[in-house]
Every structure is written in C-alpha cells, then in structure tokens.
Structure 1
Amino acid sequence: MRQSTSSKVVSYAVILLFLIIYVVPLLFVFNVSFKSFDEYLRNPLGLVQSIQWSNYTDAWSEGNFSRYFGNSLLYTGVSTVLTIIVSVFAAFPVARGYVKWAGFIYLFFIMSQFLPNPLVAQFKFMLFMKDRIPFIGYDTKLGYTLLKTTGTGVVFMMFVGYIKSISRELDEAAGVDGCSYTRYIFQMVLPLMKPIIATGVILTAIGTWNDFVGPVMYLSSPDNWPITAGLKEFRGQYGNNWPLLACGITIVAVPLIVLYSFIQKYIVDGALAGAVKS
C-alpha cells in the first residue's frame, strides 16, 4: 500500500514525538550521570565536558547497589521463569479444550484483568502466611518471588491465543509416539512459542524489575530490597547530587534495555500473534 506525502509527514511527526518523549529524557539522564557536581551546577542542560567515570563506582558502592542488584536479579529471573512455565502448562489444556469449562476459565482470566489491584488482600495474605509458614510469608525473598509469579493473567491469555495457532496434529503424533505430556510441552510446544515467550519474558521482567509499590508493602528489611527500593533510599541520601542520582537511575534502567535488545526481534511478532490468532 502506497503512502501519500501527508501520511508520511504525519508518521514521521508521530515518531519524532515519541522520540522526544521517551529517548530525550534517557539521553539527558545519561549525560548528567557523567558530570561532576560542580559542572552540573554550572550548566545542567549542557553536554558533559569532562567525563567522570568515577560517578558510577561511587554510586554503586555508596548506594549499596550490589546487594539490591542481586536481589532484583533473583526476583526477576526466578519469577519470570516460573511465570512462563506456569502460564504454558495452564494455557495449553485451556487452548486445546482438554479440560472442562475451558472457555469459562479463559473468560475468568479476562475478567480478572478488569478487577482492582488486590494489594490489601495480598498484604493480609502475606501476614497470614508469615505466622504459619514463615519462609514464604511477609518480608521473605521466597514469598515475594512467589507473589510476583502470580501475575500471569496477560501472559496466560497471550499463550492461549498463540497455542490455538499450533496444529493439533502435533499432539496426535506425539501421542502415537508415546511422548509424555511434560516432554511434549518442553520439547515441542515451547520451541514453537519462542516469539510469544519473548513477549511474556519482557512483560514479566519489566513488571518485576520496575515494581516499586510491592517492595514497599511486602519487604521491610533492607537486606531483601530490590534495586527500586534501593534507589528510593539512595535518592533520600543524595537527592541534591543529581549526577550520582542519574547514575543510580541508569544502573536501574540498563539491564532491561540490554534484555530488550537481545529479544526485541521476537516481541512484535509474538504480541501480534497472541492477539490476532486467538
């Protein structure tokens, strides 16, 4: 389909607008992170004149980011893997209709996306579990990780839509060959779902890594804080030192940027497939 000149102008204008909204602030923070405090005071908006690599080492050590970074990697990595596995094993029988009331189950997950965030109920549940099973209750790493694994609604729905596009003949061939259910899921279904899995990974990882309210509510000990809570504490100590604070913001943002750069080629295809083929 050929585009008219006016539509091209509008397209480029929209792209430019999004670049200004999303990219320019990131570039500004990155630029500030390399300035000395004196240089920032003299010219906050100007380009850095003398790169201060020590800002990152100072921010990393003074903000105790090594501990917070490790906690975030643990929470994000484990909860993402568990979310993908649980969502696949839940979505496959629903998509195939191998369980009773599969349509109602799928509708239930859709309805759950319109319900208010159950923060109060989850908080009371975590306190309840703390008194009975302390290692998975309030202010525990395992409890918080399992809590983040429960947010599988959107990923589950995308997986259901994508699995419906996979031929049922593969199920029948696997059954004839005597392939077990678990082996079939891991060796046949998962490789075919790479695009939609990449989308699920980035959505889950972003939600867990950038979560700020969850750590404030469910983790009271600094030893269990992820990097977002550590950044809040760091801002309280260095709120006036914008170069160091910009380093902290960059440290928080870089891992997700790197993750996205590795799997971005699958994300658009996976998201479209999960939406269109359902």
Structure 2
Amino acid sequence: MTAVETPQAPRKTTPPGPERAGRGEPPGWLVRLKRQKLASYVILLVFAVLYIGPLLMLVTTAFKTLPEFFQNPTGMPESLRFENFTEAWNEAQFARYLVNSVVYTTVATAVCVVTSVLVAFPIARGYLKGGRYILLLYVIALFLPPALIPQFQLILNLGLFNTRAGYILLFLVNPIGIIILVNYIKAIPRELDESAAIDGCGYYRFVFKIIVPLIRPAIATVTVLHAIGLWNELVLAIIYLTNDDLYPVTRGLIAFEGLYGANWPPMAAAVLILMTPMVVLFLFLQRYIVSGLTAGAVKG
C-alpha cells in the first residue's frame, strides 16, 4: 500500500511592510532620546573635566618639589612631599591669620543671615509696601560690578578703614541670600501667619520661632554661600586692611609670590589648607543645601 499524501494548505505570507521590516529596529523616538542622553552625558563630562581637572592638578602640585613641578606640571608626583604643607602653614602665617578669618566669617555671616531673614519675610508676604520693587533692586544688584570707589570713600569717612568692624561691614548684605529666602518663604502657607496672630504671637517671635525652623534648608544654603565667599575673599582684604594683625588667611597666599616667580607647590598646599574648613562646612550642611537651592529657585 502506498501512503496517501495529504496536501498541505499553502502558508499565508505577508509582504514585508514598513512596520514588519523595521520590527527589529528601535523606534525613531527612542533613537532620538538615546542621542539626546548621549549628548547630555558628553556635555556633563566636559564640564566635569573643566572643574575636576584644575582641582586634581592642585592636589598633585601640592605634593611635588619645585623642580618636579616645572619638569612635569600636570603629571603625578614621583613621591609625596608632605613637607610642603608644613612650609605652607609657617610661610603663610596661617596660625596668626586664622583667628581673624574665623571672626570675620562668623560675625558677618551670622548678621547677614539674620538681616536677610528679616528683610525676606515681609517682602515674601507682601507686608512691606513696594516689596516687589525692592526685590527687583536686589536682583539688579547681582548683575552690577562692585562699587569699590564709593564703598572705599564711605568706609574712609566713617573712620572704619583698616579696622575689623569696617571689614565686616562690607559683607553684611548678600542679595542672592535674600532672593533665595524670599522664594522659599513664599511656599509656606499664609494660614500660619493668621493662626499666630489669633494666638497672640508677636511678629519677631513668629519669625524666629516658626518661620526660621521651616526655612532651615534655605538658611543653610545662604550660610554656606556667604561664608565661602567671605572666607576666600582676597581683593577687599588687600584694599581695606593694611595692618598685619588684621589680615585674613587669604592674605597669607601672597607670601609665596616672589620677585621672579611663585613657589607653586607650597602655594598649592596652602590653598588646600585654606579650603579645608569650607569643605567641612559644606559636607556638614549639604543635605540642607541641595533642597534649599532647588526650592529657593523654583518655589513662589
């Protein structure tokens, strides 16, 4: 007997359309998204190199000898020369100037934060007539160059030239701090003001007992920004202070500048010593700073 073969039905074939032909490839929008992400990563990498590169060179220079630095400025040190830090500390007289910088930074930052809160709260709540225009003046002040000549003449007329009080007076106002606090306070419900008024809470008690704890991230941000700017200030210290006993720590960096050039390795070590307190302050308050900057930039 012979097996009877059953005819098979012909398979239905579908001509390759555009949707089937491209089924193995990702959609166009996904390709564009990946390209955009790649471009973003490249841009971030470029900025990271621009910021981290000089910092890395600063660290490597701090451990080199001067001949090694001139021979290979950007390379890694052959051996770690910790003597540069001892030389930097003694040559820059940091032990002598450190107390001055701590006093200047602490007093000026504390007064700046308190006054910024007292100015920002009525502006944010609208309790101050013309507050919007005052805030606009602070914004405009960010884009103006420092008025060194009128400022110098004012300090001179007040009899505060070459004094601690006169130098601190230069740093009692920070426009960016007021702007950050205003935008942060706007996010706090106004019902708190009404409830406090009904309960008989005074104005200053309400500000310092209720508002200040709620805006701690913004206060931490303003504190760090102002303290870092004051701690690293050198130009104003050269202009307004001529007495060695009043110099801040940044003034000590000039000791490494010689007649025919600078002693770069000890100077780099001095810069690392100089930046250490502010790095510690930033690390201590960083969890508040991130939220304070983002909220202060977008709220309100």
The verdict on a shared fold, with TM-score over 0.5 as the criterion, is yes
Q: Aligned partner of 1:140: which letter?
A: T
Q: Partners of 1:195 and 1:270 in 2: how far apart? A: 4
Q: Partners of 2:145 and 2:263 in 1: how far apart? A: 38
Counterpart residue number, 1:47? 76
Q: Aligned partner of 1:216: which letter?
A: I
Counterpart residue number, 1:103? 132
* CA drift at 1:58: 1.7
Q: Partners of 1:37 and 1:101 in 2: how far apart? A: 59
- Contact map agreement 2:91 2:255 (CA 8 A) in 1: no
Runs of 4+ in 1 over 4 A off after TM superposition: none
Output one character per residue of 1:67-123: Cα deviation in whole Å (capped at 9) or x when no partner: 222222221222111111100011111211222222232233233334442111110
Aligned residue runs from structure 1 range 126-275, under 5 A: 126-130=155-159, 137-150=160-173, 152-236=174-258, 239-275=261-297
Q: Partners of 1:271 and 1:82 in 2: how far apart? A: 21
- Contact map agreement 2:256 2:264 (CA 8 A) in 1: no
Q: Aligned partner of 2:63: which letter?
A: F
When Rg is computed on C-alpha atoms for both structures, the one with the higher figure is 2
- Provide the identity percentage: 42
TM-score (norm. length: structure 1): 0.88
Within the alignment, does 1:74 sit opposite 2:103 as a pair? Answer: yes
- Contact map agreement 2:163 2:246 (CA 8 A) in 1: yes
Counterpart residue number, 1:60? 89
Output one character per residue of 1:197-218: Cα deviation in whole Å (capped at 9) or x when no partner: 1221222122212222211211
Name structure 2 gaps, 5 residues minimum. Answer: 1-29
Helix, strand or coil: the match of 1:4?
helix
* CA drift at 1:64: 0.4
Helix, strand or coil: the match of 1:22?
helix
Question: Compared with structure 1, are the counterparts of its residues 118 and 52 closer, same or farther at alpha carbon in structure 2 (3 Å cutoff)?
Answer: same
Question: Compared with structure 1, are the counterparts of its residues 128 and 172 closer, same or farther at alpha carbon in structure 2 (3 Å cutoff)?
Answer: same
Helix, strand or coil: the match of 1:149?
coil
Q: Aligned partner of 1:181: which letter?
A: Y
* CA drift at 1:163: 0.9
* CA drift at 1:191: 1.3
Question: Compared with structure 1, are the counterparts of its residues 3 and 159 closer, same or farther at alpha carbon in structure 2 (3 Å cutoff)?
Answer: farther
* CA drift at 1:21: 0.8
Q: Which moved more, 1:90-99 or 1:257-266?
A: 257-266
Q: Partners of 2:263 and 2:138 in 1: how far apart? A: 45
- Contact map agreement 1:71 1:226 (CA 8 A) in 2: yes
- Contact map agreement 1:87 1:159 (CA 8 A) in 2: yes
Question: Compared with structure 1, are the counterparts of its residues 4 and 245 closer, same or farther at alpha carbon in structure 2 (3 Å cutoff)?
Answer: same
Q: Which moved more, 1:206-215 or 1:105-114?
A: 105-114
* CA drift at 1:41: 4.7
Q: Which moved more, 1:119-128 or 1:56-65?
A: 56-65
Helix, strand or coil: the match of 2:127?
coil
- Out of 151, 171, 181, the position equivalent to 1:122 is 151
- Contact map agreement 1:238 1:244 (CA 8 A) in 2: no
Name structure 1 gaps, 5 residues minimum. Answer: 131-136
Q: Partners of 1:187 and 1:53 in 2: how far apart? A: 48
Q: Aligned partner of 2:256: which letter?
A: F
- Out of 53, 56, 63, the position equivalent to 1:24 is 53
After superposition, the CA RMSD in angstroms is 2.3
* CA drift at 1:128: 0.3
